[in-house]
Amino acid sequence: MPNFHMGHNVLARDYRNRQRWRHGTIHACSGSHTYEVKVAPGVSWKRHSNHIVHTSVCPGLSKTTVSETITTPEPSIDVSLLETSKKSERDKIPTR
């Protein structure tokens, strides 16, 4: 899980419109993985840490000067577990 601290510049998931991410600053920690992100003067959103990403871009920069791509990390899969699972399934197939 990502770890955020007060004052960190972040991008928070925006569910209101087509623009998916909004610049903000971590304002408070409101749970074990929940943070308040200040996205505008007097406007804070509560977001789970899965819906926040670190950024080095300051929230005050205009959107036309910033081009940032957000990528969601792919879950890692232990291939050896898949191979073991396939072998055990083959063992269950009756032979004639």
Q: Which pLDDT tens digit goes with each residue over 10-26?
A: 999 998 888 899 999 99
The answer to whether position 84 is within a domain reads no
Number of domains in the chain: 1
Confidence of residue 3 (pLDDT cuts 50, 70, 90): confident
The answer to whether position 34 is within a domain reads yes
Closest CA to 50 of 79, 69, 67, 75: 75
The answer to whether position 77 is within a domain reads no
Tell me, what CATH number does 21's domain have?
Answer: 2.30.30.140
Question: At residue 15, what are phi and psi to the nearest 5 degrees?
Answer: -95, 5
- Answer whether 0.75 is exceeded by the pTM: no
The answer to whether position 79 is within a domain reads no
Question: Whole domain around residue 21: which residue ranges?
Answer: 1-70
The answer to whether position 14 is within a domain reads yes
The answer to whether position 78 is within a domain reads no
